[in-house]
Structure formats: structure tokens, C-alpha cells
Chains A and B, each alone.
Chain A
């Protein structure tokens, strides 16, 4: 691929899939500054990996792999997990969002933030409506293992919602 074409393809991919990148970054980072840093890190890796992109994989599978890999490494390096553990609340979504849904969404984000790095990625992919086969390809684990892990994570989230409701 010529360099000019590569640049163009890169910018198109970023523009077309920026929603995907934001979702991954939001799952792993709390504050805006970290998110912007992480987005840039992911963009760099996408740029570097673009010549090696294998068209046998769906573009989103490839993008999820890169963005989750970079996020986990970044998250680990910056000990963001500790920041999350301390955080009582997470930044809220826009005011246009109905109040009850907004509260529930913020809770969902909070509970996801409490999960370990791998579980965060798994539940995010699940909520993105990815099939177990796709999740298995992105994460590099067996389909049956995806199922087992997913069952446990969903149970954990449901319990957290239930406990919150009771309190």
C-alpha cells in the first residue's frame, strides 16, 4: 500500500470507528486527560499495525484487539485501577439522557470499572453485541471459556445492581 493511501486509510478507519475507540477507552480510563492520552496511544498502534492488517479478520475484530491490548498495557502502567477503586462516582453522561437511565448507566460503568482487566474487555464486547466466536477471536480464548467467564461476570453485575437497589 502506498504511503499516501495508507495515511488516507488510517484517517478513514479512525473517523469511522472512533465510537469503538471511545468505548474501549471509557471502560479503562476515568479522567478525560487519561482518555485522550490512551486514544493517542491506540492511534499510534493502529498506525504501526496497519501494514500488517490481515483482511481475513473483520476490521472491528482487529481494532478491538489493538485497542484492548493497548488499554490493558496503559492501564497497568498507570495504575488506573487504583484510581478507579478510590472513585466514588464516575463522570456522568449528558443531561439530555433521561435521569433514571443516566443513573443506571453510571452504575453500570461503575460496576464494570470494578472488574479485572480481562473481565472488563469481555463484558464490553458482550454488551457491544459481539458473538462468542468474535469475542473468542479478539481475546484469544476458547469459545467455551468465553461462555463460562461471561456467565460469571453477568452474575456479578446483576448482584451488584441488586445489592445497590436493596441499599
Chain B
């Protein structure tokens, strides 16, 4: 079958279909309402919930930490204070990424060329990975906030060994995951464990499509 045959087949077939197709007459008002509900329903509830919790956490704990720093810096454990600061700072970074994601979602421009827009949409979904990577960096700070000076003065060797092992392994795990949580490792069990559920399917689809699009995007840059 040559090119002309293919085109003829396509045109003739579609001409026949055109006669039998009906366009549902829906008013613009109804369409717009439908669109809003569709958009809101497609927003993952977990993402909005996480954003809300994240904002409360950052502002609530952040406020307490600043108050403690100003009013009781010498009375609180510095291990606690700095661990909490790092933890809140990393959460704040994740919250900012969430806000950017949601804002981008509301401003998607369907006028753009297909490859460009689709790449933006895929990047949006893929940024879920970056949020996870940032949040994982919090791991070591959950093992240091309860440290205090008395622990170091009065602690026993087994305590130091245990504490050291926990902190070093959490630090190693956090750094390792930060660098390995990439699309290339999407088929690994630990990746699936971290990103299973509703966030998982779009990511897997994104990987397929990114692979399909790779050469187009490279070519666009030329």
C-alpha cells in the first residue's frame, strides 16, 4: 500500500464517519462548570492535603523555632533547634515546589506546540520525584533532634555506637536515595515502595512518553 492509497483510505473513511457523527450540543456555561469540576477532581487530594499540612507545619513549627531562638536560645538543646530548622527548611522547599506545580497547572497554555506543551506537562508530573527527593533528605534530622549535651557527657559506649549507627545509616540512606530516585530506577522495588499508589501510574506513563519524545525534544533544541 503506497502513500496515496493510505491518504485516500483515510480521507474516504473519515468522510463516511463525518456523516454519522453528532456533536453534543452543550452550552458554554455547562462546559465551563464541567471543566472546573473535572480539573478539581483530577487534582490529587493527597497533594492538596500534603500542601495544607506542609504549610501548617512550616509556619507553625517555624514560628515556634524563631520564638525559641529569640527568647530561649541558651535554654534549648541546639541539636533540637538546628535539626528542626533543617527539617522545616526542607519542608518549605517541598511546599514551594507544590505551589509552583499547582500554579503551573492553572496556567497551562494549550496554544503551544504539541511537543513543548506535553513536555511541560510531563515535567510537572515528574517534579513529584523532586519533592520526594527533597523530603527524603530530612531523614537524618529525625535522628538528631533528641540529642543533648548530657547524652554526650553521661552516655555509654553501646549508646554511642547505636546512635552513631542509626544516624550514619539514615544519612547514607537519604543521600543514596536522593541521587538514585530517578526515572532510570523506576522498575526497582524500593522505588515502587516509595512512589506507589495514585502518584505511581502517571509517573510510569511519563517515563514511556519521555522516552518517546526524547528525540523530538533534542531536535527542537537544534
**Which residue numbers of A lie inside 8 Å of B, CB to CB?**
7, 10, 14, 18-19, 21-23, 26, 36, 39-41, 43-45, 47-49, 52-54, 62, 65-66, 68-70, 72-73, 76-77, 79, 93-94, 96-97, 101-102, 104-105, 108-109, 116-119, 121, 126-129, 137-142, 144-145, 149, 154, 157-158, 161
Contacts and interface: CB of A to CB of B under 8 A. Distances in A.
Contacts of B21: 18, 22
A65 B114 contact: yes
Contacts of B17: 22, 26, 93-94
Contact of B14 (A23, A69, A72): A23
A138 B114 contact: yes
B135 to A, nearest CB: 25
A36 B7 CA distance: 25
B209 A76 contact: yes
Contacts of A77: 42, 202
Contacts, number: 152
Contacts of B28: 7, 10, 47
B154 interface: no
Nearest to B32: A44
Nearest to B39: A44
Contact of B118 (A43, A69, A105, A142): A69
Interface string B201-222: 1100100110011011001101
Nearest to B122: A76
Given A62-B111, A117-B212, A139-B114, A39 B23 contact: yes
Contact of A127 (B10, B114, B121): B10
Contacts of A52: 109, 111
Contact of A65 (B16, B32, B110, B215): B110
Contacts of A22: 14, 17-18, 21
B114 A40 contact: no
A68 B23 contact: no
A79 B16 contact: no
Contacts of B113: 65, 137-141
A79 B115 contact: no
Contact of B112 (A14, A26, A65, A126): A65
B193 interface: no
A101 B202 contact: no
Contact of A157 (B6, B12, B34): B6
Query: What 8 A-B pairs have minimum CB-CB distances, sorted nearest first?
Result: A140-B113, A105-B13, A127-B10, A145-B219, A140-B115, A44-B35, A45-B110, A140-B116
Contact of A93 (B13, B26, B222): B13
Nearest to A54: B111
A117 B24 CA distance: 26
Contacts of A21: 23
Interface string B14-51: 10111111011010100110110010001000000000
A142 B220 contact: yes
